[in-house]
Chains A and B, each alone.
Chain A
Amino acid sequence: MNVRSFFSLDMSRTPVYAESMKILVCIKQVGDEGEINRFDLHALEEALSLKEQLAPQLLEPIAVDVVTVGPPEWSKIIRRAFGLGADGGYHIVTEDSGYISSFVTATRLAAVAKKIPYDLVLTGIMSTDMMAGQTGPMLAKIVGLPCATAVIKTSLPANNNVINLIEVERELENGFRDCLIIRLPALLTIQAGINTPRYPRLSNMLAAGQKEIKTLKEADLFPEPIKAREVFLGMEDPKKTRSGRVLKGSLSDKAEQLFTWLKEKDLI
């Protein structure tokens, strides 16, 4: 590690003793079948593998909690996260549906992320449905954490049982990456490709049924409803940018037509 750059960071924060380290992973459901957003699965995997990697060096294991904001049926994804190995789960139960502004979601998540002193908060880089990629950086701003998005590599260097920074690589365009050192507590949004999410373990799944989900009602947390800062007007099909000639007929007919077209264009 570059010593100079290490010390130019502000390390005045009380060191986090690894024995009490806590990671929060924000997850959401995508679709109607109880699937966890695929980027959030990468975030959860990263938290669980950090926990496993550091276990031999720590007095007490890292605790990994998950939190979701959504309708009552989303408790399913918390159970699923338990099955994967999450220790605790929070569910902020909401009644609204359809388009939900990232600002509203981040504000709701902050109710948990602010209350409990997490050392590391992870989210997926975006959800595959809303594709906004804003919940993480907005949550960081509300809670007051430094934030890096599109993280493709992490490592938690533990020195003398003290963990107070994380090393990350964030993905830029054209194969470039920025290597950063970030003071904890911090928030990272996790990009796909960082890891391969595990499958649920039977032992975890059996225990998952027994675990308690801490349920918080939105109305109790926020007596005044949080107002979205955008108005959703509706959806439409994306524009075509090319002609889009659809080949018809049997498989063989289509192959024949493609071959003829490629010949015409002198491509084959």
Chain B
Amino acid sequence: MKQILVIAEIWEGQIRPVTWELVAAARKIKNSPALKQLSPTINIIVPADDPAPLAEKIAKQTGIDVIGLQIPELETYISEIYIYCLEQLMRANPQTGDSYENVFMSKNKKSTCKAPSKKMNPSHILIAHTSQGQDFAPGLALSLNAASIPGVNGIRYDEEGVIYSRPGFNNTRNLMIRPAANRPVVLTLIPGSFKPDSEKEKKPGQVEIRKISFAPAAYGKKRIQHRRTVKKNSENQALKKAKVIVAAGRGLKEKENLGSVFKLAQCFPAAAVGASRPLVDMGWLEHQHQVGITGATVAPKLYLACGISGSSQHLAGIKEAEFVVSINKNPEAPIFRHSDICITADVIEFIETFIKK
């Protein structure tokens, strides 16, 4: 039997929306011709110190059976706790030697309760390709002797099974990969790549809580201590509110050229200046100008990308823009695939010509 597992993304006690995208992707894998005949099951795992409320919510939303993985030590996300407890959960065999406690079954009494705690045998484990997922997925894959495909942005089928695509070479190419035969696979999925199922399920899934304590035999107590979570910079309200964002990237070459970008922004009413990550890393502009996953996610009417090649983390931050116009010297720049208007030109020369008009 094939079992598809989705690890819900929980952060600061909240379910992150990417969880719904993981569920949609799990259904897509389940419906692949090669798997369909094996009638795989989908389960969602919710790791938390108190998973019950979150698990109930997810079961209700998705109609899928949820396993709340109760980890008493998990006040906040820590990689080694996640890897250890998820591995224990997936390896545990209740028939031969239970390594977890079954706390209680779902309050959804109406649904018939199946025998709890079946041994898990996951064929696919879906995790979000976020700062959290990228932190623990590779280690989990290794401890399960599984294949590992990070940054999945597409799923398709052939007669042999499922093929996963993922970006490579600075996002200019997609790599097509499948797990080796008969190996389970850990997949991390890039947020925004899969559309969540819009319909809410009528019948909620069952909830089962399993408790696993963090007690690694190899090294005893925990080696990573979380002190606090900080916010580096207050959000840039200017970027959030702007109708037009003129954004600068590495194509500018010199810091002095930023002046042209600011001049261009002045041509538009209600415009703000944004920047790609490398510019902020180099200290050309403050972090509050940074657009992308690690900066601000924006939704202006117009996004004007000046000399930005288009990393996946940047592109994910501008998806909601109504129009994207890109100026780049390199006709192969990945951002051109995600633009309404493409201008192949030297950024500064083009801006100066445009301003004169």
Chain A positions within 8 Å of B, measured between CB atoms, are 2, 5-6, 8-10, 12, 99, 102-103, 106, 128-134, 136-138, 140-142, 144, 146-150, 167, 169-183, 186, 192-193, 196, 227-247, 251-252, 254-256, 258-259, 261-262, 265, 267-268
Contact = CB atoms under 8 A, between A and B. Distances in A.
B221 A9 contact: yes
A254 B229 contact: no
Contacts of B167: 131, 238
B280 to A, nearest CB: 7
The residue in B220, B225, B296 that gathers the most chain A C-beta atoms within 10 A of its C-beta is B225
B58 interface: no
Given A8-B225, A103-B142, A229-B148, A242 B168 contact: no
A7 to B, nearest CB: 10
Given A141-B142, A146-B223, A242 B339 contact: yes
Interface of B: 76-80, 83, 130-132, 134-139, 141-143, 145-151, 153-154, 163, 165-180, 183, 185, 218-233, 235, 243-244, 267-268, 277-278, 280-282, 287, 293-297, 301-302, 319, 323-325, 334, 336-345, 349-350, 353-354, 357
A256 B357 contact: yes
B148 A10 contact: no
B163 A233 contact: yes
17 contacts: A10-B223, A134-B150, A137-B134, A137-B137, A141-B142, A142-B142, A173-B130, A175-B233, A183-B224, A192-B277, A231-B180, A232-B175, A239-B337, A241-B338, A243-B340, A251-B350, A265-B302
A183 B223 contact: yes
B90 to A, nearest CB: 15
Contacts, number: 266
Interface majority SS on B: helix, strand, loop or mixed? mixed
B220 A146 contact: no
Given A182-B223, A236-B174, A229 B325 contact: no
B326 to A, nearest CB: 9
Name the 3 nearest CB pairs between A and B, nearest first: A10-B221, A193-B281, A137-B138
Contacts of A186: 223
The residue in A136, A144, A265 that gathers the most chain B C-beta atoms within 10 A of its C-beta is A265
Given A103-B141, A176-B229, A251-B345, 9 more contacts: A10-B220, A130-B168, A134-B141, A148-B224, A167-B227, A177-B231, A180-B225, A181-B227, A268-B267
Given A170-B131, A242-B338, A233 B174 contact: no
B232 A259 contact: no
Nearest to B302: A267
B337 A238 contact: yes
A129 B168 contact: yes
B294 to A, nearest CB: 6
A175 B294 contact: yes
